[in-house]
Structure 1
């Protein structure tokens, strides 16, 4: 029989030391509403960023206030805000592992980010050239794309599908100049993107979290309550299986339907990590970059749900807070102990802390010293060139 991995004394003590803080944290969270997630009527714009948040950012930029003015200057100087950008749509986007082969993968993701970037630029400046550019990019893809293929099809669809509805929400509900092909774009999201992602994935956790981010955003834009409920249900099952809390017991939770039911299987899925401490994620010992993808998707879904009237922060907030703080500590340079990832971590969390930090620290008042230090150090947060973009502008210290 395989030898069972043992939990060393030091992390046992660490678990005890955090227990009181965790209990206090849980007591501070209001009870979550577990009723059907979909609202009676969807709020627009309402994917990741609300009209109130957009107005706050716009007012701060126009007043020349920092960090929002600097964040917007960064946005405008980026390639994604270029008014001369030409879309590169494909009927079939083929993406293998790590985008090899890369037949339209980068083009699709970056055109989607550009559509969102120019939509934000429109909202802040009211220069309709940006709105027209965003529409041009969305129309180019909605008129061509039919499918995603190869081993990374689900993840690619999730990444691009996370940016498209954020752009579409802003344009459709704030630009009065007209968007004749908006129904065709909605059809693209409904028929090409949603079927690829709504079933989820049992790959690494960032896959399903990114896929559910896209599914939730798409469901808001096309006002599909059934898909919204299905995506949120998968999200609720995945988050506890992605971020460990000591209250979970000796082992992390398994995602529903994953089939992981032994210690060896769970340790293998958690990148060989056999010591579990609060804030550890399923991909911490893989690398912080992929961990950042998962944490970003969690914060985006939580923000969207809040805007849509059902606050999921009471349910996922403590896990997100602990995970952000745990990763931030080592991202800031602290040497990992020998029991964590063999004493070596691969840093590179990315620009993913603003949304969670603003929600959990600024809005809800929870202590997040490591996350705060990292967030302020990285401002203005730019784009990860996949599905995260301009979150100092949209969520930095944003009370709306």
Structure 2
């Protein structure tokens, strides 16, 4: 028997909303600056409109904005912690982006040639990004490189097609692999840096699945860098507010860049969760302007970072990140942003976004605009909705998608199973969400959504399929009834499990257990898909006599043996058994240390396989990094009358759950 259930499909084809002769997947240029923005900036400089013109002088006079800038690279390898060429890459990334902007303002081809020279050189030579902080290295400077490339590609800079293809290949094969699984093990600014660069690469490379993955992660990602996990409450407190103010400003600025890219693509990430992004900026700006804000100590998603009070380190040192958000909420959305505005005015004109390539900067030039009373997208047929997700709840399915600019309402369609015909189940949904209460447990449904305004209806979003509840035969049990309740949701061929509890120690069992009936001579194999959230997480598989606490069973588990260094535990695989109800667990076989590529820098960043095989009167347990070469971990040679097979997940912490994905679950 093979479990094949889909929980969430990242969806929707993004089309150029304005009518063109051929449909396009993305709006171009469509990262931090669209065509209208570049025209507005160019006109503002030509007409000496303030504060744009003063902002232009900040850019023009910067040493990395010169067409005679001396390129410092390229290099074959760059890295962070240990540092290898970090400053070299970041300086050249700054220069590439800044020269690209200068090209659009001045029409001086020499700026375009400099920007192309830098992008081409690094795209042809850089082969790897290394170090313990590689994700951060790949999430910062490369964001500027991709923005430069996007501008050059779509502003008649005479960039050779072969060089454009080289840049696409470089971004997808050198940069993207480093950031593809985000940074769930770290503070949120890492996660959000990876997120914005992923969005940028997706747009430049016209890669819709990559873009959809990023859009969904921005809203629902398990790590510290998704919007609700970084700006943790309605007051605007941030995950790093208790760490220091520099990193807090870094994190919210990354999220703002994501929202701006989405805006250029016809999507309103700025407005989700009741303008949560603005609340984070207001809270941070208010505190850094010297005023008091409420603070609630809160454990982060990794389980490593708990700050008793808001940080004073870096307080008052405003970064060049406020103009983008101030101008959106006040001049586009016509809302109040009192402290964000004060911060923007205090920094104005925004300089380069130092240190290194942390921020774009120059926001006074790039984002200053007058009040926009009508969104241009209200005058054209809406874009296709993006980020359609379908989440099973108790006897219902909750649909959400990113609000579409200019949409008046949405139409929701549903089909039963993939071969069924779509039928409209709601024709005038006002908000970008819908709860389908007319569902049957265990049945698969497929949904799509379209946006409607006075100019017409968009194309249907890419379908999202989901099973209401778990597939037939599967159940979820908390092995310790006193633990916080865990849950599981179906994936295509596996599950996402949110688990709780301290794990398996002695005769104690605290974990979330998702299980199915086991018959003799069966095999259970699962593939862990990186990455997990709580860095104290344990997970694995089990054959048990029942779902009762402290019952007879065999377990194959991966978990961290926490050393003195909290950031560097040793990850191990063990097989344990309980031969009689209530007995302590005994180990079967040796402990295996998990090594690269599954573990890197003491983090579980790679996927791996676990397998239990029941044959005759014994159970054998196996581990594999690739699903091909299997290593025997232990054998339990007893007839234990095992009748259940399942997945075990525990967070290793009292107050924090963990999220673990198993993209393949095979019970055969």
Taking structure 1 as the reference length, the TM-score comes to 0.79
The structure 2 residue matched to 1:354, chosen from 323, 329, 332, is 323
Change (3 A) 1:330 1:178: same
Match of 2:646 in 1: none
Change (3 A) 1:306 1:316: farther
Match of 2:362 in 1: 390
The structure 1 residue matched to 2:149, chosen from 160, 164, 168, is 168
Change (3 A) 1:144 1:367: same
Match of 1:189 in 2: 171
Deviations 1:192-245 (A, max 9, x none): 011111211111111111111000001000101111111111111211011022
Structure 1 contact 197–211 (Cα < 8 Å) conserved: yes
Match of 2:92 in 1: 111
- The separation in 1 between residues aligned to 2:154 and 2:293, in whole angstroms, is 47
Change (3 A) 1:135 1:206: same
Q: How many residues align?
A: 332
The structure 2 residue matched to 1:379, chosen from 348, 365, 373, is 348
Match of 1:39 in 2: 14
- Does residue 91 (structure 1) correspond to residue 76 (structure 2)? The answer is yes
Structure 1 or 2: larger strand share?
A: 2
Query: What's the offset of the Cα at 1:177?
Result: 2.6
- The separation in 1 between residues aligned to 2:117 and 2:213, in whole angstroms, is 31
The structure 2 residue matched to 1:77, chosen from 61, 68, 74, is 61
Deviations 1:267-312 (A, max 9, x none): xxxxxxxxxxx11000011111111111111111111111112222
Structure 1 contact 161–218 (Cα < 8 Å) conserved: no
The structure 2 residue matched to 1:296, chosen from 237, 245, 253, is 253
* Matched residue SS, 2:271: helix
- The separation in 2 between residues aligned to 1:192 and 1:164, in whole angstroms, is 13
Query: What's the offset of the Cα at 1:313?
Result: 2.1
Change (3 A) 1:71 1:342: same
Pick 1 or 2: higher relative contact order, CA cutoff 8 A, min separation 6: 1
Q: Matches of residues 219-258 of structure 1 in structure 2 within 5 Å? A: 219-237=202-220, 238-246=226-234
The structure 2 residue matched to 1:315, chosen from 269, 272, 293, is 272
Query: What's the offset of the Cα at 1:362?
Result: 1.5
Change (3 A) 1:392 1:289: same
- The separation in 1 between residues aligned to 2:12 and 2:93, in whole angstroms, is 27
CA RMSD of aligned residues (A): 2.0
- The separation in 2 between residues aligned to 1:169 and 1:338, in whole angstroms, is 40
Please say which structure displays the higher CA radius of gyration: 2
Structure 1 or 2: larger helix share?
A: 1
- The separation in 1 between residues aligned to 2:293 and 2:232, in whole angstroms, is 17
Deviations 1:7-30 (A, max 9, x none): xxxxxxxxxxxxxxxxxxxxxxxx
Match of 1:55 in 2: 39
Taking structure 2 as the reference length, the TM-score comes to 0.48
Match of 2:426 in 1: none
Change (3 A) 1:192 1:65: same
- The separation in 1 between residues aligned to 2:56 and 2:318, in whole angstroms, is 22
Deviations 1:334-360 (A, max 9, x none): 256797864652223411111111111
* Matched residue SS, 1:89: coil
Query: Structure 2: 5+ residue runs without aligned partners?
Result: 1-8, 16-24, 221-225, 298-307, 377-668
Runs of 4+ in 1 over 3 A off after TM superposition: 335-344
